[in-house]
Structure 1
Amino acid sequence: MIFKRLSLIAMLTALCLVSLGAYVRLSDAGLGCPDWPGCYGALTVPQSVDAIAQAQTVYPHAPVEAGKAWKEMAHRYVAAVLGLMVLALFILGWKNKSSIRTSPWVTTGLAGLIVFQALLGMWTVTLLLKPVVVSAHLLGGMSTLAILVWIAHRHWGTQIGRHMIPASYYWLIRVALLVLFAQIFLGGWTSTNYAALACTDFPTCHGQWLPAMDFKDAFHLHRELGESADGGNLTLASLTAIQWTHRIGAVITLIYLGFMAVNGLKYGQLKTLSIALLCVLLAQISLGIANLLLHLPLVLAVGHNFGAALLVVIVVLLNSKITAQSR
């Protein structure tokens, strides 16, 4: 079935896109193109002398940096391909609603999410990397990945149903998605506010367990990048609050997902996924600490984002695994 194969390809594309988006953001290429959806008014990055001159005339305050622009456009090209795949899944879902293993309303919701993601991508550029927009774009990308993983697993994987595990463990897996996405938001908020190195020591922060922090400005959602709620510069105390909260979230996530994974080892059909969750979870925590101590090298920072995407994949697989097929 075309729908089945396409769901798997789209899932893998979304996983690549999330990592590519992290690479673009972390290499400061998010504004590599000052407009959207093109780049300096064209579908490709200006290359010739005349094209660059024309681009600088139209956008005098945005010097052409070909390297950054190509990174941004590569991200947009892959996003466009994924968008076409989701459109195809939407059409095929309704056309074959009697034979697919998910409700066509799932693909409808996914299509709507893709449209909203495109708008967030545009606002990311036009609103000059406003933290709440960039963080929402990250959550939207992870949500897109999660839905595609669900669709793919319903067609490629097997389910055991909730009756095979205790109710307490069933709900532990369900709530894990909320815990994980809350931590992804904190990680995205840390990255988009450039607060990843607000504390450069570990496990303390500025040599203290409870450093001076300003939570009011740190989590004010409607401010501009680098600004406080009243328009002033964001202080070190605010950046510290963001970083410190992300650390606390990491501890909570480690304990919660770790406990869930260890308990999952008792159930044969969940054992492989539980082992994978433990491995990725430990790798993710190690990458987070390494990013801090090594001052955020690009390869480790992108790897940390990829690790978060893998955690989403595994937790969604567990949720699909315990949900019996309805047809």
Structure 2
Amino acid sequence: MHKTQKDKPFYFLVTGAFILSLFVVGLGAYTRLTDAGLGCPDWPGCYGFLSVPQTQAELQTAQAAYPETPIEPIKAWNEMIHRYIAGSLGLLILAIAVMAWCREGRPKLLPSLLLMAVCFQALLGMWTVTMQLMPVVVMGHLLGGFTTVSLLWLLRLRIQPKPLFYHHGFTPNLSLSPKYLISLRTLAIAALLIVIGQIALGGWTAANYAAVVCTQLPICEGDWQGDFQASAFELIQPPHSSYEYGVLDYAQRVSIHVAHRIGAMIASVSVLMLAVLLWLKPPLRCYSLWLIAFLSLQVTLGVINVVASLPLSVAVTHNLVGLLLLIALVTTCYRLVCDCRCSLEMKYFASESSTHG
């Protein structure tokens, strides 16, 4: 029996942190989409206070300290609630790392990576404010959040008391040849990398306020090919006093939007190819179903965003479903890696047995 099978408190802590991380990503998307990223002009407080200034004296002090920044309480609260919950997640991840290193048998690498990721994520959160929503920082903050969730999920898979893949008497796919499993694993990893690239494109689209520049489907209206601007993808943009509401021109935003749509097509094809191959193998069909379900929902939400001009609830859900699709791919890759390892080990032991038999 694996040592983690008796380590339920650690498992429940990781599970709680994972659930909280989903809320943090959702709140981050809501904060960004309500233009509350600069709801507080400083960090980690708000107008020099630990909370949003409320009394008349606090409001006067805040306005005197930041005379060029009007106080908008709703946006400020959106930003601060996100910070409070993100900070709570950071403390949970710190506890996970400490617990992992204080007891033999617990994984060490993933908790360490998580702690580094959440520390860097905090820096990105600070830079988001101090650098006035610089797009590369905003995109990095989004990717950092997705990375944190994925690492927590991987850690949960690693330590769950009863392995996910062996419920109800299920065993690894030893009936499949190692060569086939390796090919399937390679395709799954490729699909995962493509989806990560598409998520980055989505973050770049949002950070540059390019989500609603195209209103036609399936490709943008006008001569988008002739107007395509490679400069739209330069990560380091010219300095501005603020990047709120975007600083790129119309042609550059169209270029970003179109690239995001083309990326969505490529990502959809790669995920569908993987889902079809998984469906052909009955033990792996559940992964195929999850991939198809999340992909279909994500494409539908993307279309609604264009047709309905980015409704807030749909846009937030689009972020979360993209995250769920990423988690489904991470789970599939993890499963296939485990199966490949088991299959190769069984092949090796069978070869050794025949040699010494």
Shorter chain as denominator, the TM-score bin is over 0.9
- Size of the aligned set, in residue pairs, is 319
Task: State which of 86, 102, 109 in structure 2 corresponds to 1:105.
Answer: 109
Q: What CA distance in whole angstroms lies between the structure 1 residues aligned with 2:109 and 2:326?
A: 21
Partner of 1:62: 69
Q: What CA distance in whole angstroms lies between the structure 2 residues aligned with 1:191 and 1:48?
A: 34
1:1-327 paired onto structure 2 within 5 Å: 1-98=8-105, 100=106, 103-156=107-160, 157-159=163-165, 164=176, 166-207=181-222, 210=225, 212-216=227-231, 218-223=232-237, 234-324=248-338
Q: What CA distance in whole angstroms lies between the structure 1 residues aligned with 2:240 and 2:253?
A: 9
The residue type paired with residue 114 of structure 1 is V
Q: What CA distance in whole angstroms lies between the structure 2 residues aligned with 1:225 and 1:287?
A: 34
- Extract unaligned runs of 5+ from structure 2: 1-7, 166-170, 343-357
Checking the alignment, whether the CA contact within 8 Å between 2:173 and 2:283 is kept in structure 1 is: no
Deviations 1:20-52 (A, max 9, x none): 100100110000010101111111111111111
What is the deviation of 1:166?
2.4
Checking the alignment, whether the CA contact within 8 Å between 1:205 and 1:211 is kept in structure 2 is: no
TM-score with structure 1 setting the length: 0.92
TM-score with structure 2 setting the length: 0.85
- 1:247/1:272 Cα in 2 relative to 1: closer, same or farther (>3 Å)? same
Checking the alignment, whether the CA contact within 8 Å between 1:97 and 1:104 is kept in structure 2 is: no
- 1:226/1:189 Cα in 2 relative to 1: closer, same or farther (>3 Å)? farther
The residue type paired with residue 144 of structure 2 is G
Q: What CA distance in whole angstroms lies between the structure 2 residues aligned with 1:273 and 1:18?
A: 23
Checking the alignment, whether the CA contact within 8 Å between 1:264 and 1:271 is kept in structure 2 is: yes
- 1:224/1:296 Cα in 2 relative to 1: closer, same or farther (>3 Å)? farther
What is the deviation of 1:207?
4.2
Deviations 1:240-280 (A, max 9, x none): 11001000100000000111112212333322222011011
The residue type paired with residue 261 of structure 1 is A
Q: What CA distance in whole angstroms lies between the structure 1 residues aligned with 2:195 and 2:104?
A: 31
Checking the alignment, whether the CA contact within 8 Å between 1:183 and 1:250 is kept in structure 2 is: yes
Checking the alignment, whether the CA contact within 8 Å between 2:208 and 2:248 is kept in structure 1 is: no
Once the two structures are overlaid, the 10-residue window that deviates more, 148-157 or 263-272, is: 263-272
- Extract unaligned runs of 5+ from structure 1: none
Q: What CA distance in whole angstroms lies between the structure 1 residues aligned with 2:219 and 2:118?
A: 40
Q: What CA distance in whole angstroms lies between the structure 1 residues aligned with 2:57 and 2:33?
A: 30
Moved over 6 A (4+): none
Which structure's CA Rg is the greater one?
Answer: 2
What is the deviation of 1:208?
5.1
Percent identity, please. Answer: 41
The residue type paired with residue 122 of structure 2 is A
What is the deviation of 1:209?
6.8
Q: Secondary structure at the match of 2:164?
A: coil
Q: What CA distance in whole angstroms lies between the structure 2 residues aligned with 1:141 and 1:121?
A: 10
